[in-house]
Amino acid sequence: MSDVNMDKLHEFVGKMLGDLGAANSVATVRVGARLGLFEALYEGGPATPAELAQRAGGLAERYVREWLMAQAANGYVMYDAKAKTFSMTPEQAMVFVVKDSPVYLVSAFDLAAATIEGEAKVEAAFRNGGGVRWGDSAGCLFCAVGDFFRPGYVNNIVQNWLPALDGIGERLDAGAKVADIGCGVGFSTLLMAEAFPNATFVGYDFHEPSIEKARKHAKAHGVADRVRFEAVTAKDISETGFDLITTFDALHDMGDPEGCAGNMKRILKPDGAWMIVEPIAGDAPEDNLNPVGRIYYNASTMICVPTSLDQEVGLGLGAQAGQAKLTEVIKAGGFGHVKRATEGPFNMVLEARH
């Protein structure tokens, strides 16, 4: 141990303390969110543990007190030592309370929990080289994934991403035919359908339970007459004549993304566009050794790679494939033009044309 630099060790252990604190906050954040504690604290204003316990519907004060101390230590709520009350700032509320905020992150904690639930199956796949079927690794991985991406979609698809594609906004206004492939529980499809009342939409995903949920969401949003959801793999979609195809955080999960791209080309009109939304990533691995890449690489190990390896070909692109690799895959499917239309802190948006 003589070559251990004590300063470097202290620095590293300091970082680990922060990381372990974050890991240990997963359960308390989820419990608090389900019990409405964040909402009650923010909306009702500063409270003692007893007041918050009462406000949240008569919870056990002793638990609420410990939970509040945990969140104060996390830095997720504020503590006023003089008044002995807790409160939340508007910024903390953006992350823990406001569900349509672009930085609402509670679902990211659900996703973390889902990856822990899936450990045994993924560990077995490390040993046998196989995959884990989408949705099999955790009870409701697909719900957590849908909720995790939803805030980004609510704040970007209609406002930023679709307008970045050449001429697509006008076509959607006029009444385009759209396929949302790998649509999951359908949030992206429904957001587009609500924004473009003249257009028609088909959401495709190979996971039946996701499609069932998507159909329920469509009914609840009153758009079921213009939106249809079908359980089918991307390569087997037979309907043609789409003006726009979208894939939101799904291409890299496919086992045979090149084969899927080939089918996208076949079903897209010659003058149509394919919008590929993928996690933001640089082309070189070292470009992604940052906080966003860290979240994606961890999720990719536990979710994206096992999902892809479970399917035919099993290319296993991973969530940090980067634009160069994605372009290669899309072009292998026969597309002649691929460019980056726009990007955000978590996603890049590629546009592919025949």
Applying CB under 6 A, which residues contact ligand SAM? 134, 142, 145-146, 149, 182-184, 188, 205-207, 210, 233-234, 248-250, 253-254, 307, 311
Residue nearest to ligand SAM (CB): 184
Residue 164 Cα to chain centre, angstroms: 21
Q: Which among 238, 229, 207 has a CA at the least distance from the CA of 310?
A: 207
Closer to ligand SAM at the Cβ: 25 or 311?
311
Cβ atoms of residues 41 and 53 within 8 Å: no
Min dist CB 132 to ligand SAM, Å, is: 12
Instruction: Give bridge partners of residue 192 from the DSSP assignment.
Output: none
- Tokens for 57, please give them: 């519907």
Min dist CB 229 to ligand SAM, Å, is: 11
Min dist CB 161 to ligand SAM, Å, is: 12
Q: Beta strands 200-205 and 242-248: pairing type?
A: unpaired
Q: In sequence order, what are the residues at sequence separation of 6 or more whose Cβ sits closer than 8 angstroms to the Cβ of residue 259? A: 235, 312, 313, 333
Min dist CB 304 to ligand SAM, Å, is: 7
Closer to ligand SAM at the Cβ: 92 or 210?
210
C-alpha to C-alpha distance for 138 and 199, rounded to whole angstroms: 35
Min dist CB 165 to ligand SAM, Å, is: 17
Closer to ligand SAM at the Cβ: 70 or 317?
317
Min dist CB 109 to ligand SAM, Å, is: 17
- Tokens for 326, please give them: 């994605």
Closer to ligand SAM at the Cβ: 47 or 227?
227
Cβ atoms of residues 137 and 303 within 8 Å: yes
Residues in the chain, total: 354
Closer to ligand SAM at the Cβ: 77 or 193?
193
Cβ atoms of residues 144 and 107 within 8 Å: yes
Closer to ligand SAM at the Cβ: 49 or 184?
184
Q: How far is CA 101 from CA 152, 250, 314, in A?
A: 8, 23, 35
- Tokens for 273, please give them: 């566009």
Task: Provide the angle, in degrees to the nearest 10, between the axes of the packed helices 141-156 and 208-220.
Answer: 50
Min dist CB 347 to ligand SAM, Å, is: 10
Closer to ligand SAM at the Cβ: 42 or 153?
153
